[in-house]
């Protein structure tokens, strides 16, 4: 069995992945099946001086869904991710997670609530090893305080061994075992993307924001990513908001797709509905012919 096969097999093994998620028992990360959507974006506006990056965007993401977020370059996708994950403070509107407003919460608090993300251009510590980078993502899971840490109390050792167990499982799942001790900065871009995904998953997020995870991947790697995303969704108890330029990937894995253009929503529905939407086809005709084709026929 090749390593990617192993990874896929592992991803389908509910028992194994549930153990990694380990967090199914953790009240900090369990998405909690409240009535209503997991994420509600309500009339969100984001201005940078005179630039209106988001002009009042609204949509919902349901529990357990992969929701694709598409749109030409500059349409506001990354800005919206930055608002949801607390990097930017939106100028108006509200974002609700599990029914509670995220407005004004710190990034750290959002991670602790169960919102994880990856970055379009990859944001790893280049001089730290792969495993050190991944463990950074488990930081907020520790509940022991400063004193317990300073005294190395048993609770601290238990937290560390739990994080290390999850680390091992994730390195295996994402085929990173052989590079675990290698500096992240020396790895090829697609491998760095997997490291980021592992770092997000070790934090046991209920909502995972993926910003162009297929960027820089070849055809076979995009296919593997599609399989992986679909297979980890249930066992990891995840909901995914997926920004992606690869229209075929979005259309294949998403249950719902939201399309933006110039900071405004131009379509919202199933992949079948959105790809037929004249506004979406028109928006993509402004891009490359290949993307326009995908928008119409993918």
Catalog residues that contact ligand ADP under the rule CB under 6 A. Answer: 48, 51, 53, 71, 73-79
What's the closest the beta carbon of residue 48 comes to ligand ADP, in angstroms? 3
CB closer to ligand ADP, 88 vs 139: 88
Q: Which does 53 bind (CB under 5 to 8 A by kind): Mg ion, ligand ADP, none?
A: ligand ADP
The whole-angstrom separation of Cα 165 and Cα 197 is 17
**Shortest approach of Mg ion to residue 64 CB, angstroms?**
25
Give residue 216's region: left, alpha or beta (phi > 0; psi -120 to 50): left
The site for Mg ion, by CB under 5 A, has a size of 3
Query: CA-CA distance, 225 to 246, in Å (whole number)?
Result: 12
Minimum CB separation from ligand ADP for residue 271, in Å?
Answer: 19
- Member of 78, 85, 131, 237 binding Mg ion (CB under 5 A): 78
- Binding string, 98-127, against Mg ion, x = CB under 5 A? ----------------------x-------
Provide the minimum distance between the beta carbon of 136 and Mg ion in the complex, in angstroms, as a whole number.
23
Please choose which of Mg ion, ligand ADP, none residue 74 contacts, taking the beta carbon within 5 to 8 angstroms, the exact cut-off set by kind. Answer: ligand ADP
- State in angstroms the smallest separation of the CB of 67 from ligand ADP: 15
Please list, in sequence order, all residues whose beta carbon lies within 8 angstroms of the beta carbon of residue 148, skipping any fewer than 6 positions away: 155, 156
Distance separating alpha carbons of residues 264 and 43, to the nearest angstrom: 10
Chosen from Mg ion, ligand ADP, none, partner binding at 76 (C-beta under 5 to 8 Å by type): ligand ADP
Residue 133 is a binding residue for Mg ion (CB under 5 A): no
Q: Of the ranges 3-11, 49-57, 78-86, 151-159, which one interacts with Mg ion (CB under 5 A)?
A: 78-86
Q: Which of ligand ADP, Mg ion, none sits in contact with 259, Cβ below 5 to 8 A by type?
A: none
Task: State how far the Cα of 294 lies from the Cα of 298, in Å rounded to an integer.
Answer: 5
Nearest distance, CB of residue 253 and Mg ion, angstroms: 19
Minimum separation from the CB atom of position 247 to ligand ADP (A):
14
Q: Choose between 58 and 120: whose C-beta lies nearer to Mg ion.
A: 120
51 binds, among ligand ADP, Mg ion, none (CB under 5 to 8 A by kind): ligand ADP
Q: How far is the CB of 53 from ligand ADP (least distance, A)?
A: 3
- Decide which of Mg ion, ligand ADP, none touches 130; Cβ closer than 5 to 8 Å per partner kind: none
Tokens of 59: 């949509």
Closest CB to ligand ADP among residues 187, 214: 214
Where does this chain bind Mg ion (CB under 5 A)?
77-78, 120
């Amino acid at each position: 069995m090749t390593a990617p096969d192993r990874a896929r097999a592992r991803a389908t093994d509910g028992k194994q992945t549930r153990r990694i998620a380990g967090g199914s028992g953790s009240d900090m990360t369990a998405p909690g099946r409240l009535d209503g959507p997991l994420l509600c974006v309500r009339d969100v506006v984001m201005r940078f001086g005179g630039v209106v990056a988001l002009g009042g965007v609204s949509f919902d993401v349901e529990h357990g869904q992969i929701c694709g977020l598409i749109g030409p370059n500059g349409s506001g996708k990354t800005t919206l991710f930055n608002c949801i994950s607390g990097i930017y403070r939106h100028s108006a509107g509200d974002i609700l997670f599990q029914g509670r407003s995220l407005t004004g919460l710190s990034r750290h608090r959002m991670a602790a609530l169960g919102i994880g993300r990856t970055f379009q251009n990859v944001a790893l510590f280049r001089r730290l090893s792969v495993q050190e980078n991944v463990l950074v993502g488990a930081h907020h899971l520790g509940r022991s305080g400063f004193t317990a840490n300073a005294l190395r109390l048993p609770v601290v050792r238990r937290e560390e061994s739990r994080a290390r167990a999850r680390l091992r499982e994730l390195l295996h799942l994402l085929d990173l075992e052989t590079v675990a001790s290698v500096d992240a900065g020396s790895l090829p871009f697609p491998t760095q993307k997997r490291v980021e995904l592992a770092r997000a998953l070790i934090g046991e997020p209920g909502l995972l924001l993926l910003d162009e995870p297929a960027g820089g991947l070849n055809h076979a790697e995009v296919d593997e990513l599609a399989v992986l995303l679909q297979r980890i969704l249930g066992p990891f108890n995840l909901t995914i908001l997926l920004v992606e330029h690869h229209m075929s990937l979005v259309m294949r894995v998403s249950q719902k797709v939201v399309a933006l253009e110039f900071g405004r929503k131009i379509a919202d529905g199933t992949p079948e509905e959105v790809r037929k939407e004249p506004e979406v086809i028109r928006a993509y005709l402004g891009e490359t012919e290949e993307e326009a084709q995908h928008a119409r026929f993918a």
